[in-house]
Amino acid sequence: MTDLKATDPPVTDPPATDPQATVAKATAHASPGRLSTLHRRILDWYALEARDLPWRDPGTSPWGVLVSEVMLQQTPVRRVEPVWRQWMSRWPTPAALASSASGDAVQAWGRLGYPRRALRLHAAATAMVERHNGDVPGTLPELLALPGVGAYTAAAVSAFAFGQRTAVVDTNVRRVFARAVGGSGQAAPSLTRDETNLAVALLPEDHVEARTWGVAVMELGALVCLARSPRCPDCPVRDLCAWQLAGRPAYEGPVRRAQSWHGTDRQCRGVILAALRATTEPVAQCDVDALWPADDPQRDRCLDSLVADGLVEPLPGGRFRLPGRQDLTN
């Protein structure tokens, strides 16, 4: 082992606010030797410890990768896996999904949460049929133009499905870099320009290494560099980690407000949608009414917003269903 401390910047350095300075600092910290060590350690660790997830199978299509990435937005791997398998079995291509009703996508989404993702995936499938001959596009601008595909998902599909040398920055990557390079216990509340620049600067030059780098760092964040209780003794770069070397100081930055839940529109919308998912039969207004305390205007407001979002289709006679779903009860 080389003398790592000798090359470390003083841990008392104030956080840089200038993007250029941050990248310069990161690059200095990650001198060629250090950087290659960081890369090798994490890539070796990944080769040994990576989970066997179905969408990581080399035979997975770009569509399979895209579906997995959308499902994984804010949703744990454990809950995504079975739904992804069913989804890919039912809709193996964008064209297959596009030919189904959007309500079928919402129904198949099940309890993954944030059901607008299902709607957007359906819209993305339609767009791919119309604009890309039914294929998932391979360039960042084309990917970003798809509904529900933002900076993270576009980069992930570019890197994981098409093997491009693209920096992937998700919450795991941000946390790992904040600690290992920034010396901070956690990343800032929202993605900063500095973090993106840093992720690009840390991308391995070697194309083969770059292919796996993103998913390897993400995996490290998901399995070892955990938010609440990091497993530092198991970390392959614990001796290089700026946060570790600084004595794992507590996070001092701005705190993110916790999401409230009880009594929110999100809860109300979830209750209504769960009822519609459970049946192919249109649900009568009175049955919707029974789902939420009487004389609470929140219920009607949420039903209206679900309709406005395209998650619920109002039918003549005051009945409701998931959009386009056929009534299979007779």
Residue 166 binding DNA, by CB under 7 A: no
Catalytic annotation on 69? yes
We find the least distance from the C-beta atom of residue 253 to DNA, in angstroms, to be 12
Paired residues of 315 in beta bridges:
319
Q: What's the order of all strands across the beta sheet hosting 313-315?
A: 283-284, 319-321, 313-315
Residue 269 binding DNA, by CB under 7 A: yes
Contact set for DNA, span 197-236 (CB under 7 A):
215, 218-219, 221-222, 226-229
We find the least distance from the C-beta atom of residue 195 to DNA, in angstroms, to be 13
When binding is defined by CB under 7 A, the residue of 2, 13, 33, 111 that contacts DNA is: 111
**Inter-residue contact 196 to 167 (CB < 8 Å):** yes
Smallest Cα–Cα separation from 63: which of 96, 108, 111, 106? Answer: 96
Total residues in contact with DNA, by rule CB under 7 A: 59
Contact set for DNA, span 9-48 (CB under 7 A):
none
When binding is defined by CB under 7 A, the residue of 98, 128, 136, 149 that contacts DNA is: 149
Residue type, 16: A
Helix 193-202 with 171-180: angle, nearest 10 deg:
80
Q: Which residues contact 98 (CB under 8 A, 6 or more apart)?
A: 122, 125, 126, 128, 129
Residue 181 binding DNA, by CB under 7 A: no
We find the least distance from the C-beta atom of residue 10 to DNA, in angstroms, to be 27
Cα dist from 199 to 172, 181, 217, 287, 323, whole Å? 12, 11, 11, 51, 41
- How far apart (Å, rounded) are the C-alpha atoms in residues 138 and 32? 31
Q: Which stretch binds DNA (CB under 7 A): 6-14, 33-41, 269-277, 278-286?
A: 269-277
Note the residues at the interface with DNA (CB under 7 A): 53, 55-56, 68-69, 72-77, 79, 111-116, 120, 147-154, 156, 170-172, 175, 186, 189-190, 215, 218-219, 221-222, 226-229, 256-259, 261, 264-267, 269-271, 273-274, 305
Please identify every residue annotated as catalytic.
69
